[in-house]
Every structure is written in structure tokens, then in C-alpha cells.
Structure 1
Amino acid sequence: MGEARRRASQGLPPRQRKPDPKEAERFIAWLPLTRAQGAQFVDITTRGAWIGIGALVVLWVVVRFIGPAAGWWTLADMP
């Protein structure tokens, strides 16, 4: 006996189809991005922004303090 006949004979509703992962909770129907992919994009870009901020701080410390202390260059505002 097939699954559909067994469910019908027992008075059960038809089986629900599993949602296609490509169709799962899209932001916009014609845009192939899901909400999970949007959240992942936000996480990655946030991490990248913090890495960029850290790199900028390190660069500033090198230019302002380490370079002049090591004699690599002199600052224009220092006499």
C-alpha cells in the first residue's frame, strides 16, 4: 500500500513537502538570497570592519610612535 493511500485510509492529511532550500525565506522573491545568507553576510562584514579598525590602529601606532622611535622617519610636527 502506498503512503498516500495509507494516510487517506487513516484519515490523515497529505504529507507536507519539505521546503526547497533555494526557496527558504527569501528577502525578495526574485533575489536569490535567504535570511540565513543575509545574517551570514552581516556577520562577515562586521568581523571585517573590526579587523580593519584594528589594522588602522596598528598602522597609526607604527607611524606615530614606533617609526620615529626607531629612526625610520621624523614627524613633521616635531621640532
Structure 2
Amino acid sequence: MGEAKRRAETGAPPRPRPKATKPKDTSPRIAPWLPLTQKQGEQFVQVTTKGAWIGIGALVLFWITVRFLGPALGWWTLADG
């Protein structure tokens, strides 16, 4: 016996339908032979820009640690001073 028939005979409500998936990206492709859309290209630029700023911030923190924090705490001495 099928699930729908069993539910109908027992008086159970119909099985809930699955939620709709996210809408398909309909933006045009960057190039016809490349499987990337313009929206995906913009998202890539946003992610890499954010990653670059995180890297710059990490580099600044590393430089401050090496140049000022380490010598001030006696972890090491600088060769130039």
C-alpha cells in the first residue's frame, strides 16, 4: 500500500512538501565557455577583497609584535638597535 493511500485511510494529514530550494542564478555568464556567472564573479571579488584585508591586518599585527612587543617583553632583541 502506498504512503498516500495509508494516510488517507487512517485520516492522517498529507505529508508536508519539502521546502523550496534557493532560486537558480539566472545572471548571464562571464563567457559562454566558462561555467561562471557574473554574480559568482562579483561574489569572488568580495570574498578575495575581504581575505586581502584580513591578511593585511594579520601582517600589521605580526609586525607590531616583532618590532615592538617582543623586544619590550624581552623575548628577543632587534639586530638594528
- Unaligned 5+ residue runs, structure 2? 1-23
TM-superposition CA deviations, 1:24-77 (whole Å, max 9, x none)? 400110100000000000000000000000000000000000000000000001
Q: How many residues align structurally?
A: 58
Q: Which residue of 2 aligns with 1:3?
A: none
Q: Which residue of 1 aligns with 2:59?
A: 56
User: TM-score, structure 2 length as denominator?
Assistant: 0.68
Of residues 27, 39, 43, the one that matches 2:42 is 39
Q: Does 1:26 align with 2:33?
A: no
TM-superposition CA deviations, 1:6-33 (whole Å, max 9, x none)? xxxxxxxxxxxxxxx4664001101000
Q: Which residue of 2 aligns with 1:69?
A: 72
- Superposed CA RMSD in Å reads 1.3
Give the ranges of 4+ consecutive aligned residues of structure 1 lying more than 6 Å apart after TM superposition: none
| Contact 1:25-1:34 within 8 A present in 2 as well | yes
Letter in 2 for 1:58: L
Cα distance in 1, alignment partners of residues 69 and 26 from structure 2? 54
Letter in 2 for 1:41: F
Aligned residues with identical type, % of pairs: 64
